[in-house]
Amino acid sequence: MIPGSILCVVGNGSGDCPPSGVSLPCVTFNQVAPTSWSDDEIRVVNRKVAGRTNTSEPFRVTGSRRSPAWCGALQGALSETAEELEAALECLPSTGFATTWALVQMGFALHLYRMPLRPSLRRPTGLSERTPLPAAFHNWLGERRLAWQYLYESTAILSWPQLPLSDGEAGERSEPTMEDPVRTLAQWFESQTGEPDQRDFAGLVELARQPAGAWLQPADAVVLKSLEQFFFLKRDNHETPNWWLYSNELSPFIDTLLLRLMQVQQQPHLSPETS
């Protein structure tokens, strides 16, 4: 490993920041307001935050102690990575995930902080049901699927303590009141072919109210992956069949179901000691 090839990556989610004694270079994301640079900080912003057009490169990279050539190399790698991930996720990747993926492929060892890849899809009270949540434009289930597959299958030097859901979120195993919640959820989504119908809400709410532990049973990987499409919006589509992502009434249940599927998704990759 070449000198200087270990980086801290600090997202915008909840959780701990690097300890004060850590002096590694630090990668940060989408700084909206002008802020002072920290020592050896590398900033990555997406094209929207950078005020660029949709035809420009998807990310811009700058650094307090990095040469234009170094920043340009990472920016180029990010463009290639974004294209690769967009094909796998069926939407643009989040800035943090794309950067993490690119840096690992470039051979960096990473310590990740404040990047649980678990944003809330709960809509604020009073938000217009014509207004999308910014978090709804990314395939978080898909990003976590790829993160787990890469961590499980690779030898990358990657410290990501927030990726596993905590014991408090995972819940205790318990007997389900339905045979296969994951497949039942897939059937519910596939049945929604028209306008929202209040009579249909009950089935979704019942699934969300299943005990957390009831979801912790083996799931068909194909069915689990097929559910990803129902939890994000595509930026270029002015209309979407995923009307539930605009529903203030259903958003708490949608957010709970997203968490449940993340719990199911991670089970094959956790040892008994960490599950």
Are 10 and 110 in contact, with CB atoms under 8 Å apart?
no
The reported pLDDT for the residue numbered 2 is: 46
Q: How far apart are CA 128 and CA 134, in angstroms?
A: 13
Per-residue pLDDT tens digits of the chain, which is 275 residues long: 344 599 999 998 887 787 766 788 999 999 766 678 888 899 999 988 877 767 778 899 999 899 999 999 999 999 999 999 999 999 999 999 999 999 999 999 999 999 999 999 999 999 998 999 999 999 999 999 999 998 888 877 899 999 998 755 545 555 656 778 999 999 999 988 777 766 678 889 999 998 888 888 888 999 999 999 999 999 877 788 899 999 999 999 999 999 999 999 999 888 655 44
Per residue in 214-273, pLDDT (tens digit) is 888 888 999 999 999 999 999 877 788 899 999 999 999 999 999 999 999 999 888 655
Per residue in 173-190, pLDDT (tens digit) is 556 567 789 999 999 999
Axis crossing angle, helix 140-153 with helix 95-105, rounded to the nearest 10: 20
Pair type for strands 41-46 and 59-63: antiparallel
Select from 99, 41, 38, 46 the least CA-distant residue to 66.
41
**Number of Cβ atoms within 10 Å of the Cβ of 167:** 10
> Phi/psi of residue 180, each to 5°?
-145, 90
